[in-house]
């Protein structure tokens, strides 16, 4: 409930600080006294966009602050979602700076207008002629029916599953699009993959293969050079080995004459041994030398294939080709596995459809079960509000598709007079009738759900006498379950309040100011008497006012 409202430097208000109680609070005042200013200030706290023109003194900032007792509103989850500090005594503050910049705070935490508006919808409902138009909105009509049907839990479950359903549908469409795109590339990717698989890249050492090619391609030159080298080394008497052997014999003769000669002799011996080993290795190389044209052709063909693949894929290493092959295998596998993924997703969607249909059916049955009760309550209340012939026909039909709140289409039809035909509310109800219907609906809703504080802004326009008295009774009954404000010009309604505030203007220092004052008992008598007879209060008006208050 709204516990206090502080306004400074806004429109005709210099500074105002007022405390409110539970129950029914009445706000009265002459036309033009500033009731709309009061509502405008409150609307800023609820998230309305600010305007520098609304600031009284452009050199000073405008401050509007409202305190709410939210202990019974179950809003901790919402505060957490909005990243706000929760407090049972929540304070909302709006500031309009001289620069025109606007700031909003919830419990001293800066916040956005979107967050402020979302929270405010749970705190106070300003019911004006414009808000009455919500009645013709299908979503609002469903909200009324679902409140009576106690469908909150079902609707929350349905909403979560519907979000999952839409997510899966989107995911399925993505898979289908991917399949269509991959199928276009599938044949080409498969060809490239098979081409790379045929050469068995993992078993190829490019350096060894190139070496093998050079050997096979130059076998005659290699054989000739090996033979020549062996001749140079081993030719009798003239070969290097025989000559080195003679050198070794000569040095051995002097090796005993000193360490230096011994060392030289050993070095020559070592070279002699090494050359003999080298000669043996040349023999082995010559023996293993193969002149195999078929092997040369195979190696050359493999190198040619590799070079073609290097050019095709614009790489130069076997490792790069292996990476490309793995990527192609992944694409081909993805394409081949998409059918399984699509089938699995379709199964998920099918199962979720069954769950959604089951919940939607439960929602629909509960709605059907309360339609008669809602119609009876509405027609009964409206009969007391001067609409004895008002009749409603509320029909639910299968929508055959998942809507955001179930699978029902709703027709909320109204007939104001006998002999008329049922029609949509917007076509068959006048503005005054819509206001009374809305009051009746709010009254019914307050029996089933915890409504935020509500402010009726001259909902009694165009009515008088017994009807206004009945409207006051309805508001009074509602105030037993919630905080109710009524801005009114009718004394019959004003007399129903638990507390009474008067909006008025005063002239101060050559300026006009709007002020708000809580009236005492005697002041209420005078105010209601003025509402009955005007500024010239008669004794009968005072007596009537006392009678109404009693």
Model pLDDT, residue 367:
96
109 and 216, same domain (yes or no)? no
- 185 and 296 in a single domain? The answer is yes
d(CA 13, CA 187): 78
Is the domain of 296 the same as that of 187? Answer: yes
Same domain membership, residue 304 and residue 197: yes
Structure tokens at 229: 């080298």
Residue 548 counted as domain residue: no
Neighbours of 464 (CB within 10 A): 12
Query: Helices 293-313 & 318-384, crossing angle to 10 degrees?
Result: 40
Q: Answer yes or no: is 437 within a domain.
A: no
Q: Note whether 80 and 219 are same-domain residues.
A: no
User: Would residue 190 count as lying in a domain?
Assistant: yes
Which tokens is 119 given? Answer: 């929270």
Q: Do 40 and 109 share a domain, yes or no?
A: yes
**Predicted local distance difference test score (pLDDT) of residue 157:** 95
Helices H, strands E: what count in the chain? 17, 15
Domain's final residue, options 279, 307, 337: 337
Residue 8 falls inside a structural domain: yes
Cα separation, 536 vs 542, in Å, equals 11
55 Rama class: left (phi>0) / alpha (psi -120 to 50) / beta: beta
Confirm if 43 and 514 have CB atoms less than 8 A apart.
no
Under 8 Å CB-to-CB from 42, ≥6 apart: which residues?
5, 64, 66, 124, 126, 455
User: How many Å separate Cα 371 from the centre of its chain?
Assistant: 34
Please tell me the total count of domains within the chain: 2
Q: What are 409's strand-pairing partners? A: 397
Q: Identify the CATH number of the domain in which residue 108 sits.
A: 3.40.50.300
Query: Are 189 and 295 within one domain?
Result: yes
For 256, the domain range is 178-337
Q: Per the structure block, which two tokens stand in for 449? A: 């759900």
Residues 227 and 301 occupy one common structural domain? yes
Copy the structure tokens of residue 460: 């009694």
| 234 and 329 belong to one structural domain | yes
Q: What are phi and psi of 124, to 5 degrees?
A: -150, 145
Point out the domain boundary residue: 289, 307, 337: 337
pLDDT in tens, 469-485: 899 999 999 999 999 99
How far apart, in whole angstroms, are the C-alpha atoms of residue 90 and residue 115? Answer: 14
**34 in a structural domain:** yes
> Is 49 domain-assigned?
yes
pLDDT below 50 — which residues of the chain?
Answer: none
- 188 and 319, same domain (yes or no): yes
- Report pLDDT for 129: 63
Same domain, 119 and 184: no
Tokens 């909200």 -> residue: 143
Residues 324 and 221 in one domain: yes
Q: Which of 294, 312, 337 is the last residue of a domain?
A: 337
């Amino acid at each position: 409930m709204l516990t206090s409202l502080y306004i400074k430097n806004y429109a005709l208000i210099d500074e105002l600080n007022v405390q409110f109680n539970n129950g029914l609070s009445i706000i009265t005042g002459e036309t033009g006294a500033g009731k709309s200013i009061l509502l405008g200030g409150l609307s800023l706290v609820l998230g309305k966009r600010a305007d520098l023109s609304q600031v009284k003194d452009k050199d000073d900032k405008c401050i509007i602050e409202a305190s709410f007792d939210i202990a019974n509103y179950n809003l901790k989850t919402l505060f957490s979602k909005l990243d706000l500090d929760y407090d049972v005594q929540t304070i909302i503050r709006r500031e309009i700076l001289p620069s025109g910049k606007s700031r909003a705070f919830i419990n001293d935490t800066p916040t956005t207008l979107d967050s402020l508006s979302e929270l405010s919808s749970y705190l106070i409902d300003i019911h004006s002629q414009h808000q009455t138009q919500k009645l013709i909105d299908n979503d609002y009509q469903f909200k009324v029916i679902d409140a009576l049907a106690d469908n909150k839990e079902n609707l929350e479950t349905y909403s979560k599953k519907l979000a999952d359903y839409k997510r899966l549908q989107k995911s399925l469409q993505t898979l289908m699009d991917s399949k269509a795109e991959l199928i276009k590339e599938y044949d080409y990717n498969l060809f490239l993959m098979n081409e790379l698989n045929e050469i068995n890249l993992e078993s190829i050492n490019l350096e060894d293969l190139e070496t093998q090619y050079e050997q096979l391609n130059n076998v005659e030159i290699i054989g000739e050079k090996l033979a020549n080298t062996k001749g140079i080394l081993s030719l009798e008497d003239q070969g290097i080995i025989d000559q080195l052997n003679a050198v070794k014999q000569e040095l051995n003769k002097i090796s005993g004459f000193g360490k230096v000669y011994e060392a030289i002799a050993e070095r020559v011996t070592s070279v002699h041994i090494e050359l003999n080993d080298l000669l043996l290795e040349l023999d082995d190389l010559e023996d293993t030398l193969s002149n195999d044209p078929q092997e040369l052709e195979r190696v050359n063909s493999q190198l040619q294939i590799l070079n073609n693949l290097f050019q095709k894929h614009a790489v130069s290493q076997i490792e790069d080709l292996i990476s490309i092959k793995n990527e192609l295998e992944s694409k081909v596998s993805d394409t081949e596995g998409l059918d399984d993924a699509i089938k699995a997703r379709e199964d998920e969607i099918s199962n979720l459809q069954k769950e959604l249909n089951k919940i939607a059916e439960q929602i629909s049955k509960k709605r059907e079960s309360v339609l008669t009760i809602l119609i009876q309550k509405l027609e009964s209340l409206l009969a007391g509000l001067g609409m004895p012939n008002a009749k409603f026909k509320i029909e639910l039909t299968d929508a055959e598709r998942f809507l955001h709140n179930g699978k029902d289409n709703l027709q909320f039809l109204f007939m104001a007079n006998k002999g008329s035909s049922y029609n949509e509310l917007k076509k068959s109800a006048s503005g005054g009738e819509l206001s009374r219907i809305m009051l009746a609906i709010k009254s019914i809703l307050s029996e089933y759900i915890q409504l935020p504080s509500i402010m009726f802004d001259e909902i009694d326009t165009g009515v008088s006498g017994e009807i206004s008295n009945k409207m006051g009774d309805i508001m009074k009954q509602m105030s037993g379950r919630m905080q109710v404000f009524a801005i009114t010009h009718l004394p019959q309604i004003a007399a129903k309040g638990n507390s009474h505030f008067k909006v008025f203007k005063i002239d101060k220092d050559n300026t006009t100011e709007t002020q708000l004052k809580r009236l005492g008992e005697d002041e209420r008598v005078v105010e209601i008497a003025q509402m009955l007879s005007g500024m010239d209060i008669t004794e009968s008006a005072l007596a009537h006012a006392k009678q109404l208050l009693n």
